[in-house]
Amino acid sequence: MKLTFHGTLSSTPYGNPRHSRQSMLEVAYGGRRLLIDCGSNWLGRLPFIDPVALLLTHAHDDHVGGLVRGAPCPVYAHAATWEKICRFPLLWRVLVTPQQPFFIAGIRLQAFVLQHSPRAPAVGYRIQAGRSTVFYCPDVARIPDRDRVLRGVELFIADGASVHRSLLRFEDGMLYGHASLFTQLQWCAEQRVPCMLASHCGEEIIENESRIVHQLQHRARKLRVKADIAHDGMTLKLP
């Protein structure tokens, strides 16, 4: 399985050359590739590759805005996202049922509901191909049933919107917003996930990435987790 981080920026209006495009991950396996998420600053830039499918995590603009004029392939999303983007001119719509595994191009996928936004309910995807298992969750406040969701995961692709600053809030007794990267690092340590790579980068990373990488890796070493920050165009080969 080969991962390409085409976009690693969150909804913040301030990017930089390392993080200029909003979230989009390519997963390639056996010569075919799928994309996950397509934010508004991708509008008019598709198709730049020939994906077999495009998966969506949730209906926030920095994840779906690039599809307002359509998509070149089938689009997969769960019911709450389809409800929000029902007016998009998407011809091939596939409904994803949380927790139910499905296959695209030999890649096993499974969506899990996350706590992130009451108005744009989100899922994260467990992605399995070859001998590797990855969990992709670009926007997350809390992962319900985290032990089961992250069991056997080798790489956690994390939400980099918050590093130190709290972007969490309680609404109706539920936690929403973005967990900090240090909290997500702790999740990895507790569930024995050996590697964490932050994407969906927010202002803190944009402003001072090298200092944050240093702090993150210092903490990660103590927790026996490898941690880093992805950038636009980064590729990663997994066995």
Positions touching Zn ion (CB under 5 A) are 60, 62, 139
Tell me whether residue 21 or residue 60 sits nearer to Zn ion (CB atom). Answer: 60
Count CA within 13 A, CB hemisphere, residue 192.
4
Tell me whether residue 119 or residue 164 sits nearer to Zn ion (CB atom). Answer: 119
What minimum distance in Å lies between the beta carbon of 66 and Zn ion? 13
What minimum distance in Å lies between the beta carbon of 123 and Zn ion? 11
Tell me whether residue 139 or residue 204 sits nearer to Zn ion (CB atom). Answer: 139
> What b/e string do you get for 1-16 counting C-beta neighbours within 10 Å, with b at 16 or more?
bebbbbbbbbbbeebe
How far apart CA 196 and CA 192 sit, in angstroms, is 11
Which residue, 149, 150, 142, 155, is CA-closest to 199? 155
What minimum distance in Å lies between the beta carbon of 139 and Zn ion? 4
How far apart CA 30 and CA 48 sit, in angstroms, is 19
How far apart CA 105 and CA 98 sit, in angstroms, is 19
Tell me whether residue 139 or residue 209 sits nearer to Zn ion (CB atom). Answer: 139
Tell me whether residue 23 or residue 110 sits nearer to Zn ion (CB atom). Answer: 23
In sequence order, what E strands does the chain have?
A: 2-7, 24-29, 32-36, 53-55, 75-78, 93-96, 102-104, 107-114, 122-129, 132-136, 155-159, 167-171, 174-178, 195-199, 226-229, 234-237
- Is residue 54 within 8 A of residue 74, CB to CB? The reply is yes
What minimum distance in Å lies between the beta carbon of 233 and Zn ion? 19
Tell me whether residue 37 or residue 209 sits nearer to Zn ion (CB atom). Answer: 37
How remote is the C-alpha of 28 from its chain's centroid? 16
What minimum distance in Å lies between the beta carbon of 199 and Zn ion? 10
What minimum distance in Å lies between the beta carbon of 221 and Zn ion? 28
